[in-house]
A and B are shown apart, each in its own frame.
Chain A
Amino acid sequence: MSTTAKAAAGTADYLDQRTGVGKAVKEFARKVFPDHWSFLLGEIALYSFVVLLISGVFLTMFFVPSMALIEYHGQPASMDGVLMSEAFASTLHTSFEVRGGLLMRQIHHWAALLFMAAIVTHMMRVFFTGAFRKPREVNWIVGIVLMILGLAAGFSGYSLPDDVLSGNGLRITDGVVKSIPLIGSYMSYFIFGGEFPGEDIIPRLFTVHILLVPALILALIALHLFFVVLHKHTQYPGGGRTDKNVVGFPLFPVYVAKAGGFFFVVFGILALMGGTMSINNVWNYGPYDPSPVGAGAQPDWYMLFLEGSLRLMPGQTEYVIGGYTLSLNVLIPAVVIPGLLFTFLIVYPFLEAAVTKDKREHHVLDRPRNVPVRTGLGVAFLTAFIILALAGSNDLIATHFSMSLNAITWVFRILFFAGPVFAFWITKRICLGLQRKDRELVLHGHETGRIVRFAHGEYIEVHRPLDEQERWLRVNYDAHRPLEIEPAQDARGVRRKGYKKDRRMQRLSRFFYEDRVEPVTPAELAAAHSHGEHDTLAGAPEHQEIGSGAPVGGGRTIVSPETGPDEQNR
C-alpha cells in the first residue's frame, strides 16, 4: 500500500469512526440514476446558481448599497464628473477600476439569465413528461416557488446598480403596487419609504438580494434535491423499466464524474459569455434620474412577459369611482394575468390527478404524445408566455422588421387569445396522429421499401416487425378514459348528494380523455399477425419462401425474415 493510499484510508477511517459517514457514502455511492440528457437541465440551473453565489460574493466586496449622491471621477469619459448615487458609482468602480470586476459582473448577470432559462426548460421537461405526478406533486410546488424566488432574485439584483434602465423598472413596479385597490398607495410608501424613488429602496433591495432570497433559494434547493433522493429519480419508458425499479448507473463513479464535469462546462460557458459578450453596460444608461426614459427600455427576459402584458393592455380601462382611481389598465395585465399563469402551474398536477382518478405512484415518465391534452395545454401555456414576451419587445420587432408598432400591438392582442387555443388544438392533433402512427407500426412493422413481385403478378411490400424494445415503448402506456360517475338518483329514486360536483368533474374529464388512441392489446397484435399469416398462406403457398420462418404482418403485407439481434438492435 502506498503512503497516499494509507493516509487516505486512515483519514476515512478516522472520520467514519467518529461520524459514521461511511454508511452514508456507501448508500449514496450506490444510488442508481437513470441516464438521459434532459435530466441534466435541472443541473444547469443548480450550477448557474453556484456560479451566481461565487461571483456574487466577489461583487458584494465592492458594491456600496447607498443612494447618497456623489460626483464621480474616473472611467468612462462619458461619466466623468457626473452626479450619481454611490450604488451607481461603485458599480462603475467595480467595472473599470477593480481587476476582473467587469468580468465578474458580466458572468454574474449571464449566470442569472441562464439560471432562469435552465429553470424554465427543466420545468418544461417535468411538465411534458408528467414527472409531477404522484408522489412528486409537492416537489413540483417547491420547484415553482424556486422559480418565483429566481424572479425575485433577478429583479432585485437588476435594480441594484441604480441606473436609468432599472430605475424605470422600479417606477413600473411602483405603478403596479399603486394599482392594487385600497392598499396600493400605502404599500408603495411602505416599500419605498415614502414617495418614489426615496432613498431607501437600494439598501432594502440589497438585503433582499444578497441575504433573504439566496438563503431561501438555498434552503429550497436542498429540499428539492432531498425529494429527488427520497422519491428516486424518474426514468423514461422502455423495456424493463417499471414503477418499482430504477434502471441506470450508480452515482459513483459514473455520475460523480459526469455531473462534476458538467459543473465545469457550465462555469466555462458562462465565463466565455462573460468574457466576450457585454451585458447590462450601466454606463450606457446613466445614473438614475426620474426624468429620462430610453427607447427600448425592457426588463431581463424572464420579466418580459409582464412588460408585454402591460404594453398590450388598452389604456381606456382606468375608472374613477367616487374620487378614487381604479387602474384596471395596470391591475389586469400586471397582477391578474401573471396570477392566472402561476395558478395554472400550481393547480395543474392536482387537476390532472382529479380528472384521472389516479392514486398510483408513477416513476416511469409519459411520452408527451401519450397524454395529448396535457401536452396541448403545456404548449398553449408556452404560446401565451412567448406572445407576451414578444409583445414586450414590440418596439424592437418594429424597427428590425420594418413594421408598424401599432399593427404589431394589435396582432399580439388578438394572438394572445387566439394563439393558445390554436396551439392547443394543433398540438393535440399532432399527438393523436403520432399515437396512431405508433399503433400502425406495432401492428404492421417497419416499412422496408422492399417491393416483391409474385409469380402471378401481385406486388407486395415487405414489412419488418418491431423488436421487443420498440414494441414495449409503443404499447406500454395508460390511455385514460373519462370518469364514470354514479347516476343522479339511487335505486330508490332519491337524488344523490354530490352528483353535480361529480358531473362537473366528469365534464372536465371528458375534455381530457374523450379523444384518445388506445394502445395495441396483445389480442389485437395476435389478430394482426394471424391475419397476415392467414392471408399469405391462403393466397399463395409459394410465398412461404419469401417470408421464411414465421411470416407475420397485417393486411396485404408480409414480413421479412427475422434478422439477427445485432441488426435489430437499432
Chain B
Amino acid sequence: MKALAARRHHRFAPVVLLLLALLVTGGVYAALAPSPASADTASTADIETGQKLFQANCATCHGPAAEGSTTAPSLIGVGAASVDFQVSTGRMPMQMEGPQAIEKPRQFDEEQTAQLAAYVASLGAGPAIPTDEQVDPALGDSANGGALFRTNCAMCHNAVGAGGALSEGKFAPALWEVTPRNIYQAMQTGPQSMPVFNDATITPEEKRDIITYLVEQREGSAGGLSLGSLGPVSEGLWVWVVGLGLLIGAAVWIGAKSS
C-alpha cells in the first residue's frame, strides 16, 4: 500500500482513476442491463426502420401489423430466422401467385433484411438467425449428416440435394447453391411445403452435420461429370445421346464405302 500511497499525487493518477471508473460502470451495466427480446443486436432505430419497410413492402398481404390475411400467414412469432430466409433468398416479397414462392434475386440488401427481421422478431419470440459457428460446414460430421439427410430430407430433395417434384407444381428446390445459413433456417422454420425440424427433432449439431454433408456434395463426383446427380433417367438419356449416337455415327462411317 505504501507504493500506492506514495503515488496518489502522481500527475497520471486522475486518468487511471477515470479509466477504472469507466471500466467498473461499463462492467456493471453489461452485467445488469436487460437483454433485448430476440433480435440480438437490433436497436430501436433498426426496428423502426424495419417497420417502415414492412409497411411499404409486406403489409399489403401480411396486414399492417403482420397479423396476416386470407392470402398470407400471420408473421407474429415466426422469428428473425424465417424473415431472413424468405427475404435473403428473394422469395419474399412475392412477385406473383403460384404453386409456391419462387427464388429470385433479393430485393433488400443485407442491412434492410436485418431491419425487417428485427421488426418481425420484436412482434413475438421466434427462432433467431443462427450464428456463423452454428452453420460452419468445417465443424460438422458429413457421415452423420448424410445418414440424417437420407432419413429426413432425401425423399423430397433427392439423395444429394438435387431437388425433386411435389404435387400440383410445387417442388423441393435443389440445394447446390443455398447458403449454409439458409439451409439451417429452412430446417428451423419449415418454409412453404417443408416441415419444421425443430431442435428437438434435429439438434443444432445435427443440423450442422447435414450442412457439412450438403456442402461436400458440391465438390463434384469422383467418377467424372455428375450429369446433374439425377440418377438413372439422366444416365439413360446420355447413353442414348452420347453412346448410341456416337456409335451409330461410327457405323454409318464404317458402312459408307458401300453401294
Q: Which of B210-259 contact A (CB under 8 A)?
A: 213, 216-217, 221-227, 229-240, 242-244, 246-248, 250-252, 254-259
Give every chain A residue within 8 A of B42 (Cβ-Cβ). none
Pairwise interchain contact B236-A300, C-beta atoms closer than 8 A: yes
With A78-B142, A278-B222, A281-B223 given, is the CB distance from A298 to B231 under 8 Å? Answer: yes
From B157, B160, B223, B238, residue with most partner A Cβ within 10 Å: B223
A277 contact from B213, B225, B233, B252, Cβ within 8 A: B225
Q: Chain A contact residues (Cβ within 8 angstroms of B): what range?
A: 35 or more
How far does the Cβ of B216 sit from chain A's closest Cβ, in whole Å?
6
Pairwise interchain contact B243-A296, C-beta atoms closer than 8 A: no
Of the stretches B50-58, B76-84, B104-112, B164-172, the one at the interface is: B164-172
Pairwise interchain contact A301-B239, C-beta atoms closer than 8 A: yes
Tell me the bound Cα distance from A80 to B147 in angstroms: 11
Asked if A528 lies at the interface with its beta carbon under 8 angstroms from chain B, I say no
Binary flags per residue of A93-124, CB closer than 8 Å to B gives 1, else 0: 00110000010001001100110011001000
Asked if B94 lies at the interface with its beta carbon under 8 angstroms from chain A, I say no
Give every chain A residue within 8 A of B171 (Cβ-Cβ). 398-399
Pairwise interchain contact B142-A281, C-beta atoms closer than 8 A: no
Pairwise interchain contact B160-A284, C-beta atoms closer than 8 A: yes
Asked if A556 lies at the interface with its beta carbon under 8 angstroms from chain B, I say no
Asked if A522 lies at the interface with its beta carbon under 8 angstroms from chain B, I say no
Give every chain A residue within 8 A of B231 (Cβ-Cβ). 165, 294, 296-298
With A78-B146, A273-B243, A395-B164 given, is the CB distance from A291 to B156 under 8 Å? Answer: no
A284 contact from B147, B155, B229, B240, Cβ within 8 A: B229
Tell me the bound Cα distance from A546 to B4 in angstroms: 133
Pairwise interchain contact B258-A36, C-beta atoms closer than 8 A: yes
Of the stretches A213-221, A261-269, A492-500, the one at the interface is: A261-269
Asked if B20 lies at the interface with its beta carbon under 8 angstroms from chain A, I say no
How far does the Cβ of A392 sit from chain B's closest Cβ, in whole Å?
8
Of the stretches A37-45, A174-182, A324-332, the one at the interface is: A37-45
Give every chain B residue within 8 A of A280 (Cβ-Cβ). 232, 235
Pairwise interchain contact A393-B233, C-beta atoms closer than 8 A: yes
Give every chain B residue within 8 A of A404 (Cβ-Cβ). 99, 167-169
Tell me the bound Cα distance from A178 to B189 in angstroms: 41
Pairwise interchain contact A269-B169, C-beta atoms closer than 8 A: no
Pairwise interchain contact A295-B251, C-beta atoms closer than 8 A: no
How far does the Cβ of B158 sit from chain A's closest Cβ, in whole Å?
5
Binary flags per residue of B82-106, CB closer than 8 Å to A gives 1, else 0: 0000000000000000010000000
Query: Could you list 30 examples of A-B contacts with CB < 8 Å?
Result: A35-B259, A36-B255, A36-B258, A37-B254, A82-B146, A82-B147, A96-B222, A102-B222, A109-B235, A114-B243, A114-B244, A117-B243, A121-B244, A270-B243, A277-B225, A284-B159, A284-B217, A292-B151, A294-B150, A294-B155, A295-B154, A295-B156, A295-B163, A296-B158, A296-B231, A297-B231, A399-B164, A403-B169, A404-B99, A405-B165
What are the 8 A-B residue pairs with the smallest beta carbon separation, nearest first? Answer: A301-B236, A295-B164, A278-B223, A35-B258, A37-B255, A395-B165, A398-B165, A294-B159
Binding site for B on A (CB under 8 A): 35-41, 44, 76-82, 95-96, 102, 106, 109-110, 113-114, 117-118, 121, 164-165, 238, 248-249, 258, 261-262, 265-266, 269-270, 273, 275-281, 284-286, 289, 291-302, 304, 392-396, 398-399, 402-407
Extra pairs beyond A301-B233, A398-B171 (13, CB < 8 Å): A35-B257, A78-B146, A165-B232, A238-B259, A266-B247, A279-B223, A294-B159, A295-B164, A393-B233, A396-B233, A402-B169, A404-B167, A405-B168
